[in-house]
Structures are given as structure tokens and as C-alpha cells.
Amino acid sequence: MNVGYVAIAGKPNVGKSTLLNAMLGTKLSIVSPRPQTTRQRVLGVDNGPGHQIVFLDTPGLLAPKYGMQEKLLAIAETSIREADLLLFLLDAVDGLKPEDQAFFTTYRKKRTIIVINKIDLVIKEALLASIAKVHQATGCDEIYPISALTKFGVEDLRRGIVAHLPQGMPFYDPETLTDQPEQFFVAEIIREKIFMSFGAEVPYSTAVVIDDFKEQEGRKDVIRATIWVEKPSQKAMVIGAQGRKLKAIGTMARKDIETLLERPVYLELWVKVREKWRRKEGDLRELGLG
């Protein structure tokens, strides 16, 4: 069968995580309208007739400005290096910007497919011009226009990927969706709700740590998590008047967690401050970004 690792890489917000979820037919990786949502590599296994694709969703490629962003770039680089095939994503609205071009030149692999995503947002003429330009500027002749949101072109792309993968034995048994523990995805769901609930500042200053995850026979699981922020003012925002904001975040997160785990849970959230954690090596490691 055709088997291999496929890294999904590209600038922040181009739709990498949405594409992973579209390929898997299930929501594994969190998605938000803000750039730099994904902070870890997220592995998702797609089993099909005659193939196993191991997708690696990665943090958006960005010239780093501080500690956390350096970690994010390193995570993306490692995934690209380990992959048999690189899917390099562009946003159809932006086209090929100089920063895309620079990252493409740096990370291009022997097997590389360029994916132009969000084509639902552009007219056909603009898309055709963009494909021609991308082809000319990169020399890459495998360019797939898709919409990860509507799934237009996704099956064509899957066939294109499979055609590139080497023959081999599967890496994962067919039941396996990912190699990451449930706790990771629970923390990610909480983080997603924070990305959805606040403007620019709070999401970027937030890390979520699961402190306690108790499975109980015959009773609801108990999950306790801490939402770390960088300033007391952010803590006040996350909690909200009479704790209403935190309650709403908890309710939204709990519903998604219950869908993921397929069982009812009791979710308890705490908000705590750790100043400038995004710039401190020790804090990054303790908060799971080491």
C-alpha cells in the first residue's frame, strides 16, 4: 500500500488545520479566524483503500519575534523534515507573497505539492491568474486549488498525495486516529474557545494546562484545567463580570470535550497569571511548549 508522512505547512491562518480536519472527516485540530492558533504538531491518520496517510498539521510559518514563536517555527521545521511529502498551503486571497516565496524556497522538498486554499473566496479569473503566477514563480507543477471549508478539490488532492507516497507497511493500526493523548485535545478545545471569545490580546497570552483528569467508574469524568494568562487584567477579562465569561467558555468547551470523548464530563476551569510566560524558556516548557 501507499504509506507516508505528509506535512501541512504554510503561513498562519491559511487553513492548515481546516484541511487536516477535512481530510480526516473529523475535527481533530482546533481552528480559529486568528493567526497562530496551532502551537503543536497535530498528527492525524487517514486510512483509505490502499493507503495510509499520516498528516502532520503544523504551526504557521512566521519569522519569530520572541521565545514562543521560535518554538513554533522549530516544530514546523521538524515536521517538514520528517515528512515524505510537503503540502505547502497558500491563501487564494493573498496569492503568493514574498514571505511565502521565502519559506517555500527554504522548506521545499523533493516531493512537494502547492495547495491554494480558500478558493471559495475568489473569482475564477483571479484564481487562474494566481495559479499561473505560482507556477511561474516556484517552478512547482503540482498545484491544487481547493476549499478546505467546502471540501471542494479535497478528494482530488488526496489522490494526488497518495500517488506520491512510497510503498510500505502501515505505521499505525487502522483504528488509530492520532498519537496524541486525549488530554492534549481537551486542552486544545479550551484554548479554541478562548480564541473565539476574545480579541487579539488575550488568546496569544493564553496557555491551557490540564491539572487533573480523573476517569470514574459509573460517574462523570472530572477534568480540572488552568488557563494561564500573562497579566491580572487578562485574568479579569477571562473571568468576566460575576464569572460569566469563564462560565460560557467552560460550557462551550465541555460540549466539545464530551463529543470528543463520547462521554459526559465535569469541567472545572481556573485562571492564573504568569507574567511574560511566552518569553521565558522555563515557563514555556512547563506550559507544554518546551
Ligand X SMILES: Nc1nc2c(ncn2[C@@H]2O[C@H](COP(=O)(O)OP(=O)(O)OP(=O)(O)O)[C@@H](O)[C@H]2O)c(=O)[nH]1
Site residues (CB under 6 A) for ligand X? 12-18, 31-33, 35-38, 59-60, 117-118, 120-121, 147-149
Cell numbers standing for residue 223? 477534568
Compute φ and ψ for 285, nearest 5 degrees.
Answer: -65, -45
C-alpha cell, 205: 497570552
Q: Report whether 41 contacts 75 (CB < 8 A).
A: yes
* In the complex, minimum distance from the CB of residue 244 to ligand X, in angstroms, rounded to a whole number: 25
Record the cell numbers describing residue 196, joined without a space: 473565539
Choose the one of Mg ion, ligand X, none that binds residue 149, judging by a C-beta under 5 to 8 angstroms depending on kind: ligand X
If residue 282 lies in a helix (H) or strand (E), which one and from where to where? helix 281-286
Rounded least distance, CB 183 to ligand X, Å: 20
40 touches Mg ion by CB under 5 A:
no
Smallest distance, ligand X to C-beta of residue 120, A: 5
From the list Mg ion, ligand X, none, which binds 194 (C-beta under 5 to 8 Å, kind-based)? none
Q: Does the protein bind Mg ion through residue 17 (CB under 5 A)? A: yes
Q: Nearer Cβ to Mg ion, position 16 or 41?
A: 16
202, 256, 259 from 281: Cα distances, Å: 20, 31, 34
> CB of residue 13 vs Mg ion: minimum separation in angstroms?
8
- The residue among 117 and 234 lying less far from Mg ion, judged by its C-beta, is 117
Confirm or reject binding of residue 21 to Mg ion (CB under 5 A). Answer: no
Cα–Cα distance measured from residue 116 to residue 8, given in angstroms and rounded to the nearest whole number? 12
234 binds, among ligand X, Mg ion, none (CB under 5 to 8 A by kind): none
Phi-psi region of 219 (alpha: psi -120 to 50; beta: other; left: phi over 0): beta
- Four-residue CA torsion sign, 271, 273, 277, 283: negative
- Determine the interface stretch with Mg ion among 13-21, 83-91, 119-127, 144-152 (rule: CB under 5 A): 13-21
Query: Smallest distance from the beta carbon of 93 to ligand X, in angstroms?
Result: 9
Strands (E), 11-91: 42-48, 51-57, 85-91
Q: Does 205 bind Mg ion (CB under 5 A)?
A: no
Choosing among ligand X, Mg ion, none, which partner's interface includes residue 32 (Cβ < 5 to 8 Å by kind)? ligand X
Measured distance CA(85)–CA(53) in Å, rounded: 10
At its nearest, how many Å lie between ligand X and the CB of residue 79? 13
